[in-house]
Amino acid sequence: MLDYLLNGLALGAIFAFIALGYTMVYGIIKLINFAHGEFFMFGAFLGFFVLRDLGVERLPLPQPLPILLSYVAALTAASLGAGALAVVTERIAYRPVRRAGRIAALITAVCVSLILQNLAIKAWGAKPQAYPQPREWIDTDDLAGAAPANLYAVKRVETTGGEVVENEVRVVEAGAALDDATRARLRAEGHERVYRQVPLDRGWTRGFVLLALLLWAPVLWFLVKRTRMGKAMRAVSEDSDAARLMGIDINRVIAWTFFLGAFVAGVGGVAYCVSYGKVEPLTGFLPGMKAFIAAVIGGIGSIPGAILGGLVLGTAESLIPYALREGLGWEAAFAWKDAIAFALLILILVFRPTGILGRAVREKV
C-alpha cells in the first residue's frame, strides 16, 4: 500500500510540474496550451543531449562533482530551452490570434502541438531513445552478475614528480569475464581496484522530483503573489485592457508567463525521462494530457490547485486500481489507469466544475 502511494506521489509530482504551466497560461490568457507537453518534451531532449554528449555518459568513473554538475547543466539547458521555445511559440503562433477568439487560439494550440511533435520527429527521429541513466560505482570484489561492460578498472599512476597520484581508468574490454585469471591479469597490469557500475536506485530520482516540487512551488507562488511582474500577471489575467492603460506591457507579461510555465516543464521533462528511462518525440503527449486533467481537477488558473491536482491524480491512478484489484479481485485494474484518470476528470467536471481549489468566476454584468 505504501509502495503504491509513493509510486502515485512520484508520478503525481511530475503531473504537477507540467500542470503549473497549463494553469499559469490559462490563468493569464484563458488559453489551453496543448503545446505545453511539447515544451516538456523539448526540455527532455535538451537534457538528453547534455547528459549524453557532455555529461554522465562521457564520464568514465565515480566523480561525484562532475556528475552533479552535468545534471545541473542538463536541468538548466532543459528549463531555459523549453522556456525559450515557449516564448518563441507564443510570439509567432499565439500572439497573432490572441484577439481572434478562444476557439481560434485552441485550434492554433493543437496545431502547434502537432507541428512541434513532427519537427522533433524530423530532427531527432521517431524511435524511443534510452535516456542516460544515473549510476553509482561500487568498489567491490563481489562482481558476480555484473555485465562486463559495466566493469571499470582503476590504475594509480604517479606523475613524474612522484607526488601527484592520479587514477587512470579504463573499461574492462567488453565480453571479458571477471574470473580469477582476468583479475590477476588486471592486477599484474597495476590496476588495483575494479569497480562495478550499477544503476542508481530510482528512489533518488523520484525523491529529486518531489524535492524540486517542494522547492519550486513556493518560489512560483512568491513570484506571482509578491513581485511586480506577478501582480502584473494577475492584473492582465483579470482585465488586460485596464492593465495596458495602467502602463503594463501585456506582451511582455504574457511572454514571461509562457517562459515560467515552460521553464518548470523543462525541469519536469528531464526528471520524467531520467525516471522512466526513455525519450521520444511523443514523450510529452500523455503526460501533457494528464497534466491538463490535473490542472482542471485542481482548479485551472490556480497554482496551488495545479500542484494539488497533480498529486491527487497521480495518487488516484495508483491507489484506485490498487483498491479495485485488492478489493474486487480485478486483475487488469492497473491497465485501466488512464481510463480512471479521464473518469476522474468527468466526475470533477460534473460535480465541481471549478476544480478543487478553483473559484467560481464572477460573471461580469
Partner 1 sequence: MIFEARGLTKRYGGLTAVSGVDMELAQGDLVGLIGPNGAGKTTCFNLITGADAPTSGTIRFKGEDVTRARDFQMARKGVARTFQNIRLWKEMDVLDNVRAVCRAGEPCGFAAAALRLPRFRRVERAVTEKATSLLQRLGLGDVLAESPGDLPYGDQRRLEIARALALDPDLLLLDEPAAGMNPTEKARLMETVRDLRREFDLTILLIDHDMKFVMGICERIYVLDHGERIAHGTPAEIRCDKKVIEAYLGSEC
Partner 2 sequence: MKLGSLLVGLVLLTGCGGDKESPSAPLKVGAIFPMTGNTATYGEESWNGIQLAWDDLKAQGIHFDLKLKDEKSESQTANIQTKTLIENDGVNVILGSVASSNTLQIMLAAKEAGIPVITPASTNDTLTEQGGPLASRICFNDSFQGAVLANFALNEGWRKGVAVVDKAQVYSTGLAENIRKAFEAGGGTISFEYYSSGDTDFANTIQNVANQKPQVIFFSGYYPEGGPMIRQAGEKWKGVPLVAGDGFDSPELPKLVGDTSADIFLSSHFAADAPDPKVQEFAKRYEERFGQPPGAMAGLGYDVLLVLADAVKRCKDPRDPEELGKAIAATKYKGITGYMDLSTPDRTPRKDAVIVKVEGGLKFYRAVPAAK
Q: Which residues bind partner 1 (CB under 8 A)?
A: 219, 222-223, 226-229, 231-232, 234-235, 237-239, 241-250, 256, 362
Nearer to partner 2, 11 or 243 (CB): 11
Q: What's the grid cell of residue 358?
A: 478553483
How far is the C-alpha of 120 from the C-alpha of 115, rounded, in Å?
9
Binding mask 276-295 for partner 2 (x = CB under 8 A): xxx-x-xx--xx--------
Task: Give kind and range of the element (H or E) at residue 244.
Answer: helix 240-245
Task: Give kind and range of the element (H or E) at residue 193.
Answer: strand 191-199
**7: contact with partner 2 by CB under 8 A:** yes
How big is the CA angle at 115 (ends 110 and 120), to the nearest 5 degrees? Answer: 130
Nearer to partner 2, 67 or 250 (CB): 67
How far is the C-alpha of 153 from the C-alpha of 159, rounded, in Å?
19
Nearer to partner 1, 241 or 331 (CB): 241
Residue 332 binding target from partner 2, partner 1, none, CB below 5 to 8 Å by type: partner 2
Nearer to partner 1, 210 or 250 (CB): 250
Residue 138 β-bridge partners: 196
Min dist CB 204 to partner 2, Å, is 11
Q: What's the grid cell of residue 235?
A: 492584473
Nearer to partner 1, 247 or 327 (CB): 247
CB-side neighbour CA atoms (13 Å) of 315: 13
Residue 177 has what DSSP assignment? -
Min dist CB 125 to partner 2, Å, is 7
**349: contact with partner 2 by CB under 8 A:** no
Residue 196 β-bridge partners: 138, 151
Residue 127 binding target from partner 1, partner 2, none, CB below 5 to 8 Å by type: partner 2
What SS3 state is found at 155?
A: strand
Residue 327 binding target from partner 1, partner 2, none, CB below 5 to 8 Å by type: none
Instruction: Please enumerate in sequence order all residues whose Cβ is within 8 A of that of 250, keeping only pairs 6 or more positions apart, or say none.
Output: 236, 240, 243, 244
> How are beta strands 165-171 and 151-158 bridged, if at all?
antiparallel
Handedness of CA 271, 275, 279, 285 (dihedral sign): negative
Min dist CB 263 to partner 1, Å, is 10
Window of 215-223, 241-249, 259-267, 273-281 that interacts with partner 2 by CB under 8 A: 273-281
Residue 97 has what DSSP assignment? G
Within residues 129-188, the interface with partner 2 by CB under 8 A covers 129-130, 133, 135, 145-150, 174-175
Number of residues that bind partner 2 (CB under 8 A): 47
Interface with partner 2 (CB under 8 A): 3-4, 7, 10-11, 121, 125-130, 133, 135, 145-150, 174-175, 197-199, 201-202, 272, 275-278, 280, 282-283, 286-287, 318, 321-322, 325, 331-332, 334-335, 337-338
